[in-house]
């Protein structure tokens, strides 16, 4: 009975286009196609977004310092930024149309980069 109810609710949410379901699916999508920016391996970009990598790489150290200063703690893991080449790719990887999303990774949309 409980399993049937869980399956029914899950299927209903999935078929309704629920943003929570989209976000969960996006969380597990592979980012293996991103290219590491040679000058700063914390910046990764999709083919087509390489032009934004230098700007993001130069802004990353002061941004990290500012956030860590406000939290009074360093990040527990290295910070990596993923630059998406298109709005479609960004939506597929994040499940949202917000301009920046943090899951276990920080994604920046092309819209924000432009």
Contact 59, 106 (CB under 8 A): no
The reply to whether 4 falls in a domain is no
The reply to whether 108 falls in a domain is yes
How many domains does one find in the chain? 1
Structural domain of 95: 30-113
DSSP string, 32-98: TTPEEPTT-TTEEE-TT-GGGHHHHHHHHHHHHHHHHHHHTS--SS---EEE-SSHHHHHHHHSS-S
Between 62 and 27, residue with greater pLDDT: 62
The reply to whether 3 falls in a domain is no
* pLDDT confidence tier of residue 14, bands split at 50, 70 and 90: very low
Q: What is the structure's pLDDT at 103?
A: 63
The reply to whether 7 falls in a domain is no
The reply to whether 1 falls in a domain is no
* pLDDT confidence tier of residue 36, bands split at 50, 70 and 90: very high
pLDDT (mean) for 26-41: 86
The reply to whether 66 falls in a domain is yes
The reply to whether 25 falls in a domain is no
């Amino acid at each position: 009975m409980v399993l049937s109810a869980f399956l029914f609710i899950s299927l209903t949410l999935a078929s309704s286009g629920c943003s929570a379901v989209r976000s969960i699916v996006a969380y597990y999508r592979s980012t293996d196609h991103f290219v590491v920016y040679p000058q700063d391996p914390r910046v990764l970009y999709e083919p087509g977004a390489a032009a934004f990598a230098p700007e993001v790489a130069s802004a990353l150290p002061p941004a990290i310092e500012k956030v860590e200063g406000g939290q009074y703690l360093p990040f527990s893991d290295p910070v990596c930024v993923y630059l998406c080449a298109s709005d479609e790719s960004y939506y597929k990887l994040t499940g949202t149309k917000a301009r920046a999303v943090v899951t276990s990774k920080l994604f920046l949309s092309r819209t924000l980069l432009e």
